C-alpha cells in the first residue's frame, strides 16, 4: 500500500482568512473556467489586505495553469497558506485533487489529498464514515485548522426524529481541542436545509466553520440557484456571522474573515 505523505507542519496560527468564489460557468478571456485569469491580481489583492490564508471555492484551477499561481508566491508577504482544488475541465469537470500550498521555514511547499465522501447512503459509505475520524481526519489538520472537503460535512447526520444534528460517527468529537477553524471549500451551493445546521453543529466548542462555494449552479428548470447572498457562510459557536463582500474589479466574490473580531 502506498504510504501517505506526512502532514505538513504549519508554523503559524491562522488569523485572517479570505473567501474567494466565482461563477464557475463563465469562460474567462483566457479561455478557461478557473481562477487562472486573475490569480496574480487576486493573490496580491488579498496579500495587501493582510490575509494569511486564502480559501478558494472548489474546481479552482486547471493543472496546466497552476504554474501561474506558483510563480506569484515569492511576491507574497502576508499570505502563508492557500487551499484550492485542481480539476480537469473537458468535457466535464472531473478528477479533482485538493491542494494545500503553504509556507514554512524551508519555503513554499504543497500537500495533496482527495475528498473521501460526498454523501452517506450506502453500506460502503457508512463504513467510510465510521473510519473517517480515525483514518482521514489526522491527515487534514494544518496548524490550528482542519479541512473538510465539500460534502464530507455530511458525516454528521440530521436526525429526523429529534430534528437535531447527531455525531454518529464521531467526527466532531475527534477534532482536537486546539483546532478552532474548519475550512470547508465546496463545489457549488448546497440547498438542503440541514447543511447549514451541520456547519453550525461543527462550529460548537469555540470553532469557526468557513464554507465557500461557486456560483452558477443550475436547477432542473434551467434556473440559477445562487440567491442574493454571498456564496459563503461562516459559523462560530453555532451562530451565523455576516461577512460582507469586498468590492473588486476582478469579477470575483471575495470576503475576509478576521478571526480577532469573532
The 8 Å CB, 24+ separation contacts for 233-236 are: 233/196, 233/199, 233/209, 234/19, 234/208, 234/209, 234/210, 234/262, 235/196, 235/199, 235/200, 235/202, 235/203, 235/208, 235/209, 236/203, 236/207, 236/208, 236/209, 236/262
Q: What tens digit of pLDDT does each residue of 104-158 get?
A: 989 999 999 999 999 888 889 989 999 999 999 999 999 999 999 999 999 999 9
Q: Please give the pLDDT value at position 95.
A: 87
Q: Please give the pLDDT value at position 7.
A: 87
Contact 76, 43 (CB under 8 A): yes
Q: What tens digit of pLDDT does each residue of 187-202 get?
A: 999 988 999 999 999 9
pLDDT band at 223 (very low <50, low <70, confident <90, very high): confident
Q: Is the pLDDT of residue 2 over 70?
A: no
Total residue count of the chain as it appears in this document? 262
Contact 5, 229 (CB under 8 A): no
Please name every residue paired with 181 in a beta bridge, in sequence order, or none if there are none: 145, 208
The full set of domain ranges for the chain reads: 16-261
What is d(CA 262, CA 254) in angstroms, rounded to the nearest whole number? 18
Q: What is the mean pLDDT of residues 192-220?
A: 95
Indicate the pTM of the whole model: 0.96
- Of 213, 260, 205, nearest in space to 232 by CA: 213
Q: What is the mean pLDDT of residues 84-91?
A: 91
Q: Residue 224 gets which letter from DSSP?
A: B
Q: What tens digit of pLDDT does each residue of 61-74 get?
A: 999 999 999 999 99
pLDDT band at 219 (very low <50, low <70, confident <90, very high): confident
Q: Please give the pLDDT value at position 34.
A: 97
Q: Please give the pLDDT value at position 1.
A: 55
Output the nine-digit C-alpha cell for 210: 468557513
How much of the chain, in percent, has pLDDT values that exceed 70?
A: 99
Q: Please give the pLDDT value at position 222.
A: 80
Q: What is the mean pLDDT of residues 233-254?
A: 98
Q: Is the pLDDT of residue 42 over 60?
A: yes
Q: Which CATH architecture has domain 16-261?
A: 4-Layer Sandwich (3.60)
Angle at 250 between CA 262 and CA 32, to 5 degrees: 115
pLDDT band at 90 (very low <50, low <70, confident <90, very high): confident
Amino acid at each position: 500500500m502506498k504510504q501517505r505523505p506526512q502532514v505538513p507542519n504549519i508554523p503559524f496560527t491562522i488569523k485572517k482568512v479570505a473567501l474567494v468564489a466565482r461563477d464557475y460557468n463563465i469562460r474567462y478571456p483566457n479561455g478557461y473556467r478557473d481562477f487562472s485569469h486573475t490569480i496574480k491580481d487576486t493573490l496580491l489583492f488579498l496579500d495587501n489586505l493582510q490575509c494569511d490564508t486564502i480559501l478558494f471555492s472548489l474546481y479552482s484551477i486547471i493543472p496546466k495553469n497552476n504554474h501561474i499561481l506558483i510563480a506569484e508566491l515569492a511576491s507574497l508577504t502576508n499570505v502563508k497558506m492557500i487551499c484550492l482544488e485542481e480539476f480537469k475541465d473537458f468535457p466535464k469537470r472531473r478528477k479533482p485533487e485538493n491542494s494545500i500550498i503553504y509556507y514554512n521555514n524551508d519555503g513554499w511547499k504543497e500537500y495533496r489529498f482527495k475528498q473521501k465522501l460526498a454523501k452517506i447512503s450506502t453500506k460502503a459509505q457508512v463504513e467510510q464514515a465510521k473510519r473517517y475520524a480515525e483514518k482521514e481526519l489526522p491527515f487534514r489538520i494544518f496548524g490550528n485548522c482542519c479541512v473538510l472537503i465539500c460534502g464530507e460535512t455530511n458525516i454528521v447526520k440530521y436526525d429526523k426524529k429529534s430534528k437535531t444534528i447527531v455525531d454518529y460517527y464521531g467526527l466532531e468529537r475527534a477534532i482536537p481541542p486546539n483546532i478552532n477553524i474548519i475550512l470547508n471549500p465546496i463545489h457549488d451551493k448546497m440547498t438542503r436545509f440541514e447543511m447549514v445546521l451541520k456547519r453550525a453543529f461543527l462550529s460548537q466548542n469555540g470553532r469557526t466553520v468557513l464554507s465557500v462555494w461557486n456560483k452558477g449552479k443550475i436547477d432542473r428548470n434551467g434556473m440559477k440557484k445562487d440567491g442574493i447572498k454571498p456564496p459563503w457562510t461562516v459559523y462560530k459557536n453555532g451562530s451565523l456571522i455576516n461577512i460582507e463582500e469586498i468590492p473588486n474589479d476582478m469579477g470575483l466574490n471575495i470576503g475576509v474573515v478576521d478571526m480577532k473580531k469573532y
